[in-house]
């Protein structure tokens, strides 16, 4: 249900795909990491599918959303992604929402909160940076320098796409993931089974240009302007977004609180899903009337 979109908006030279699941006054909008089309939200949806309403969408060049014709790198900027999301909200006449973003999705929700403060009532960045994510560790800083050349090579040799797709069929990606990043003792294989097939099917040109753009984006200089309640979720051993970066966000944002996930990686919100779900539920019910968050049929039962 989270992976297949059923609504589309014509953005001129590509189709923007999204899905509305349930109905409530304040839905939860789920913003993926780069290269992802829903796998990171499986545990959350299993827990709350009968409680909250959700909006899912695919970024440009991801899943069922097309990519702009003859694209430029700036067509994949965080700003453009926020514009896409705002158009979805306008189409669905959604006035208010809570935004959750995993990994790069954290940058999307923070930027959206700056641009559309009346619509984004609360923000939940999960295991993500507030900007320029490649600069905080040497291994990612080094790789980021080769993004322009990689984009050029993908354009020059289209067959690279086929080689990348073939990698998605490798049966032991979960085991590789536990060696590189995730906590294999906490993260069940069922929650990662879609990740590698998904990321290897993303248009590589879109992926690389988006990676280049997210590394030039930052809201650090606008921390004081982000006035929404913010739940910063982070793992102790995140190899992509260091814990100290999230702790800085908690200190600098005016109305932030922390959801610390011990022993967890970049997938901490799934590795310790029970703790994350409890923290999220408390955060939501602290800042909003329960009836505004619950599904319409749930509201009726509460009123009764």
Specify if 234 maps to a domain.
Answer: yes
Interacting residues of 193 by C-beta distance below 8 A, sequence separation 6+: 39, 174
- pTM of the predicted protein model: 0.93
State yes or no: pLDDT of 300 exceeds 70: no
Specify if 2 maps to a domain.
Answer: no
Total domain count, the chain: 1
The Cα–Cα gap between 26 and 85 comes to 15
Which of 162, 172, 215 lies closest to 192, judged by CA?
Answer: 172
CATH of residue 59? 3.40.50.1820
How far from 281 is each of 96, 269, 273, 276, 287, CA to CA, in Å?
18, 13, 12, 9, 10
**pLDDT tens-place string over residues 160-212:** 888 888 877 777 777 777 877 888 888 888 888 788 888 888 999 999 999 99
Tokens for 183, please give them: 């906590």
Specify if 24 maps to a domain.
Answer: yes
Specify if 156 maps to a domain.
Answer: yes
Average pLDDT over residues 53-66: 96
Specify if 1 maps to a domain.
Answer: no
Specify if 48 maps to a domain.
Answer: yes
- Output the pLDDT for position 94: 97
* Residue 227: domain span: 7-303
Specify if 194 maps to a domain.
Answer: yes
């Amino acid at each position: 249900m989270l992976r297949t979109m059923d609504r589309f908006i014509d953005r001129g030279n590509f189709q923007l795909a999204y899905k509305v699941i349930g109905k409530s006054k304040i839905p939860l909008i789920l913003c993926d990491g780069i290269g992802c089309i829903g796998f990171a939200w499986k545990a959350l949806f299993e827990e709350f599918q009968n409680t909250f309403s959700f909006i899912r969408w695919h970024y440009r060049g991801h899943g069922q959303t097309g990519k702009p014709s003859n694209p430029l790198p700036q067509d994949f900027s965080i700003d453009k992604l926020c514009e896409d999301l705002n158009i979805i909200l306008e189409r669905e006449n959604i006035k208010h929402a809570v935004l959750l973003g995993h990994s790069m999705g954290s940058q999307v929700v923070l930027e959206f909160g700056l641009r559309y403060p009346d619509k984004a009532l609360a923000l939940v960045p999960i295991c993500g940076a507030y900007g320029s994510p490649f600069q905080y560790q040497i291994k990612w800083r080094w790789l980021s320098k080769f993004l322009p050349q990689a984009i050029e090579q993908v354009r020059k040799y289209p067959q690279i796409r086929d080689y990348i797709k073939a990698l998605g069929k490798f049966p032991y990606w979960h085991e590789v993931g536990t060696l590189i990043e995730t906590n294999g003792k906490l993260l069940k294989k069922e929650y990662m089974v879609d990740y590698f097939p998904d990321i290897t099917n993303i248009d590589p040109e879109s992926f690389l240009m988006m990676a280049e753009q997210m590394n030039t984006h930052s809201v650090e200089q606008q921390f004081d302007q982000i006035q929404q309640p913010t739940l910063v979720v982070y793992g102790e051993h995140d190899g992509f977004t260091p814990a100290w970066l999230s702790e800085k966000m908690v200190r600098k944002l005016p109305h932030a609180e922390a959801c610390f996930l011990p022993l967890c990686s970049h997938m901490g919100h799934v590795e310790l899903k029970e703790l994350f779900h409890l923290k999220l539920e408390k955060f939501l019910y602290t800042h909003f009337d329960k009836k505004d968050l619950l599904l319409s049929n749930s509201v009726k039962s509460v009123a009764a």
